[in-house]
Amino acid sequence: MRLSRVTAVAAAALAATAAVAIPASAEDVPDVPAVPSKAVAQEYLNALAVDAEGGGDGYSREKFPHWEDVEGSCNTRETVLQRDGDGVVVDNACQATSGTWLSPYDGQTWTDAADVDIDHLVPLAEAWRSGAADWTTERREQFANDLTTPQLIAVTDDVNQAKGDQDPAEWLPPRTDYRCTYAKMWITVKHSWQLTLQEAEKSALQGMLDDCTS
């Protein structure tokens, strides 16, 4: 079931009260791979197929196996925590024992990895409704552990839970100066994996892209 806008706002507010700090600008956020320019994102958006959203019948997170091993004892979640964090220290099992994580969705900084979720930017259930229902389990596993596009990002856990499986027509990061980047990331992931868009989703993405300066 999708979370309401009221729930999303309430969760974001709760996260803000518990955070360590608020950075000054959207530039002060972790880097994620393959975020394109505005012009390239527009090309990607124009190329994406628009179709009615599929149903959720048959969906489960287990059909998108994650987190897979990446290197040594480090799995995908732990790899993203190290990539997106600052001064991250891990133990012999690759578990983060210290570090700081700045969540670009709400601008909050965390010092405990337990407060950080690794968000699937395009949620697994959204991908299922947009074409992934027809994929093999192997392809869905690749999608759920994708480190080559902006599909995985470390964010405040409560904000991620508020987002749920909603697309940009239904939910946007509370931090308005990150929405341009969010739109470019979403478009890139859907283009890379050849997932479809819905009319309202495309309209929301186009509106954010129009507001991008580069």
Q: What is the pLDDT of residue 31?
A: 79
Q: What is the pLDDT of residue 137?
A: 98
Cβ neighbours around 20 below 10 Å, total: 13
Is the pLDDT confidence value at 199 over 70?
yes
Residues spanned by the domain of 42: 5-211
What pTM was estimated for this model as a whole? 0.87
Q: pLDDT > 90: what percent of the chain?
A: 84
Query: Could you read off the pLDDT of 29-57 as tens digits, one per residue?
Result: 677 888 999 999 999 999 999 999 999 99
Cβ neighbours around 114 below 10 Å, total: 8
Q: What is the pLDDT of residue 23?
A: 45
Total length of the chain: 214
Q: What is the pLDDT of residue 2?
A: 40
As a whole number, mean pLDDT of residues 7-12 equals 38
Is the pLDDT confidence value at 169 over 50?
yes
Domain count, the chain: 1
Q: pLDDT > 70: what percent of the chain?
A: 86
Which residues lie below 8 Å from residue 71, measured CB to CB, with a gap of 6+?
A: 79
Is the pLDDT confidence value at 19 over 70?
no
As a whole number, mean pLDDT of residues 87-112 equals 96
If you average pLDDT over every residue of the chain, what do you get? 89
Residue 21 sits at φ, ψ, to 5 deg, of -155, 160
Is the pLDDT confidence value at 11 over 70?
no
